[in-house]
Structure formats: C-alpha cells, structure tokens
A and B are shown apart, each in its own frame.
Chain A
Amino acid sequence: MKVINLDHISAKPLLPEVKTVMIEAIEKDYHNPASQHKSGEEAAAVLQNARKAVAQLLNCKTPKEIVFTSGGTESVNHAIKGVALANEDRGKHIVTSNIEHNAVIRSLRRLKSAGFVVTSLPVDSSGRVKPRDVADAITKDTILVSIMHSNNETGTIQPIEEIGAITREKKVIFHTDAVDSVGVLPMDVQKLGVDLLSFAANTFYGPAGVGGLYIRRGTRIFPLLDGGVQENNKRAGAENLVGIIGMGKAAELALRDMDKRLAHLRTLKNRLLTELPKTIDEYIVNTHPEHSLPNLLSISVQYIEGESVMLMLDDENIAVSTRSACATGSLRASHVLLSLGLSHADAQGTLVLSFGIDNTENDIDTFLKALKAVVTTLRDISPLYQKASKA
C-alpha cells in the first residue's frame, strides 16, 4: 500500500546511494578511527572524508570545525550548555526567541535553574524576530544568542545574517538551530556570521540519529560529553561511523543536486499554494510568503481540529503532521502558532505539510482532493462552523 508522505519534517527517506554506502560500511566492519594501527587509520580516513563533505556543504574554513553528534538535539544541547558552562565567568545572560524547538527551550530552562538569565524575544505576525530586538536585548552580561534558522512548524526563515552582524559587532557568541535548513537550502556559515550551527543528517535524506555541530575556530565551548579525545576533543565516545558515512554521502549529494531539488520543491509548493484556495475556504497560511523553506507549508483550517483531519487523511493513506496540541501529548496549542497571534481555536486546526524530492505534483493533487472531502465532513460536525455560518 503506497502512502503519500507529506510529513517529511518528521522523517525523510534514505537516498538509495546513501543506503548503499552504509551497507558497504557495515560489511566492511571498520575499526575504531582513534586507533593508530593500519585498520584504525583506514577508518580515520573514511571519517575524514565524511567530515570534508559536510564541511563543504556549510562552507567551513576547515573540516575541523565540524563535530559529529547523535543528531540535532545533541548538537543544540552541546551548543547551548557548552557555551554557557565555558563562559559563565563572563556573564550569565542568554538571548533567544519565543519560537524555538524544545531542544533549545528545555536546554535553556535547565540553565535557568542553574542561575542563568534568559531573554526570549517575540516574533512579529509573520513569524520573524526583529534583529533590532536582538541588539536591544544584548547586555554586558550576554554570552550567547540562540535563534533558529528555520522554524520546524511554520517553515519561516529568520534574518540570521542580520543578527550575525549584530553579534559579531557586540562580540557575543551566536548559535543557530539550522536542523530544518541544512541540506535543503544553500548554507554558508561565513555569510551567516554564526559561531555555532546545529544540523541533522535526516534533513538531507541521510540516516536519523546522526548530525553535527559547526563550531567556528576560537569559540569558547565545553564538550557536552566528557571522555576520550575523539572529535578533536570536543565530543567523546567512539564515532557512529556507519551513520557518519551515510551523512557524508548525503551531504555530497545535497550539494551536487541543490538547485535541481530546490526547483522541484518550489514547483510542489507553488502548486499547493495555487490550488488550495480553489479547494477549501476559510484557512490561514502560517508560513512566510517569501522567507520560508521551499518544502513546508503550514495552514490552519478554521472551525475544525487538526488531529481529526490527520486521522481522516491517514485513512486515505496520506501522512501529514499537525502541531495541534492534541497530537503531541501537550494539551495546549503550539507555542509557535500562538506567538504568531493565532487564536487557540484556529491554532487547533493546523496542518503542517512538508514534502520532499520523492513527492510528485500528482501527490499534491491527491492530497487536495482528499482534504476537500475531509474538511467538508468535519465542518458538518463542527458547532463552530454552524455558528460562523449563522453569523
């Protein structure tokens, strides 16, 4: 049974080429890259190739600036906690935004209980942080600014370059959680002006459970995991070589095919945006029209609830995601959507549609047809729709 995956933000398929190199790596059964004998050196060379491929994707000055991790969450934890611990003698103030991923929010919450002070900045109704607010929030005690590159619920991209110029001028360390951007969009750490950047391999069709942290040379940061001297003394523990080899291949392909992929994703998104108003009425687009990921669109369908839509589309073999509170275990609507100024009822009707290079325009058409039927069914049941129609 073929399922149409419009939930790529949760999981992307492994590329066949990536799968092949990972299987080869398992069969090869590499030794520990930290060992000094021939077998170890052979493994170290493979590790270095992967590091070069990833460093190229981000335009790092040297591959040494890449630290491999177990994924986006570890990278974010490392960046935030590592900088806080290494710089607390200079100050205990951190600046962030109201729309960050839980990895950032909860890392900062942990630091708050250890005496750090956090300023969390609002976003405007389009979902973007104002660089001016960042400049105003920085004090002489500020040691870190952490603002995400693109938001995982709305796809909206933040003005990282402008913020980077501010943090450089004020000599504050700048981290960006770029987990949903790296490998999708052209990324250049020099241009962005960031000191730390978190990413994950699955975003660019590599394996889940592998990622990395870009650490600009000279950045004061402690390891999150203490132990051996792996990863240039920045991340202890034997490397997940099979996963890293997969990520290296995925990075190489992402860089090679970037333009082709972008063109395809933009075609899909345009089709969705053009056809949606002909399919359903009374919905809100939460994604920025210009500054947003090419592969994500968040909409809030009014008078109905997202989980119900998701379950009914699932019956039609179409996978979508909802950030409505009900689906996540938290009973509250998403903090990101409320930050945009959405009402609770509208936020509950949110669908996150995220597509990939494996989707076709036909998938979009099938989805739209199914969505129309589902929205009609659920609005027929909804007392809110009844009231709105009467009014």
Chain B
Amino acid sequence: MYNKTVMDHFRNPRNVGVIEDADGVGEVGNPLCGDMMTIYLKIKDEHIEEIKFQTFGCGSAIAVSSMITEIARGKSLAEAKQLTNKDVAAALEGLPKNKLHCSNLGADALQLAIQDYEDKLAGVKRPQPIRKEKHEHSHGQKCYCPYCDIEIQADITFCDACQSSLEDEH
C-alpha cells in the first residue's frame, strides 16, 4: 500500500520528540480524522536550527511528519514558509489517494509553528484555534471524497464521480 520511501520514514522516523524550550510550536489535526501532529522549532538567525515532531496517526501520518522535519531543517524562515503539503507528498514519492488529505498535514503544522514563533516575537496573542467537532472543518473549508479524492460539497451523501456512498465518511 505504501512505497519504499514512505515505509522507510515510517519505520525510522527522523527528528522524533519534543523541544522543551521551543521558539515555536504548531499543532494540527483532529482525532475524528485519526491524525494529530505537533511540530516544535528552534530558530537561530532566521533559520530553523532544530525541528522535532510528535504524531498520533497512521503510517503515512508518521512518514509525513518525519519528511517535513527533514525538508525544513536548516532552511531560512522565508524558504520554509513556501513549503506545502504537496511538497511533502512529492518528497515521499507519493501517498495513497485516500491518505492525501487526512494524513498529509506536516506543512500545515510547520506553518503554524512558524506563525507561533513570529507571534511571540511581535508580542501578538492569538486566541487558541477552536477545535471544531465536525469533520468538514478540519482541513480548511474544503471537503474531499475519501474514495476518489475529488473535491465535493460537505453535505452530500453520494459521490457522483466514483458512485460511492458517503454517509458521514467525508
């Protein structure tokens, strides 16, 4: 189901752990989807000096977390801000379609960690993001068919593209 690169990062995840005195922390995910990630950053001279992660999730969620830390480590903040979830999936040489949205949250966690660092520097206090209970809010406002990955309306119960029934499954 997973390719060799994904399995390698799953079996030997890089940069696992917590940075106790982190300069920035980013947390994404929701147990409804089955995946939660936390990324910790240590910043020096506008560069990511150290990066660690913790993840609750499936094989691809762990591989994604490991890969984003490898890609981001040593990068300038400006460079790191350009990283997207797509870059992570590409570096992993692809993920199964039904895993692309729920598990591929590594870059989102990184961006939140960078924002957290910059907020602290600027003295901005953002309210904690409210944990939404409904699944359709967990990846921005978009919703995707878990079977064929096409973007769909949040309230439909049937995917026209692949004829799958979607009762509560997206």
Contacts and interface: CB of A to CB of B under 8 A. Distances in A.
Contact of A329 (B10, B18, B98): B98
Given A305-B57, A324-B58, A383-B38, A348 B98 contact: no
A255 B8 CA distance: 47
B165 A303 contact: no
Nearest to B97: A329
Interface in A308-334: 308, 311-312, 315, 324-327, 329-333
Interface of A: 106, 109, 303-308, 311-312, 315, 324-327, 329-333, 343-345, 348, 380-386
Given A308-B58, A311-B59, A382-B55, A345 B31 contact: yes
Nearest to B144: A331
A330 B54 contact: no
A324 B34 contact: yes
Contacts of B7: 311
Specify the main secondary structure of chain A where it touches its partner: helix
Contacts of B33: 331
A304 B31 contact: no
B94 interface: no
Would you list the 5 A-B pairs with minimal beta carbon distance, nearest first?
A345-B31, A326-B58, A307-B58, A383-B54, A331-B146
B34 A333 contact: yes
B61 interface: yes
B34 A330 contact: no
Nearest to B57: A305
Contacts, number: 88
A111 to B, nearest CB: 14
A385 B18 CA distance: 12
B34 A381 contact: no
Contacts of A306: 58
B101 to A, nearest CB: 8
Nearest to A315: B11
Given A327-B58, A381-B62, 7 more contacts: A325-B34, A329-B147, A331-B146, A333-B34, A382-B55, A383-B55, A384-B31
Nearest to A338: B168
Given A308-B59, A331-B98, A386-B18, A381 B31 contact: no
Contact of B54 (A305, A308, A382): A382
19 contacts: A305-B34, A307-B59, A308-B10, A312-B11, A324-B34, A325-B34, A326-B99, A326-B102, A327-B58, A330-B146, A331-B33, A331-B101, A344-B31, A344-B32, A381-B55, A382-B56, A384-B36, A386-B18, A386-B54
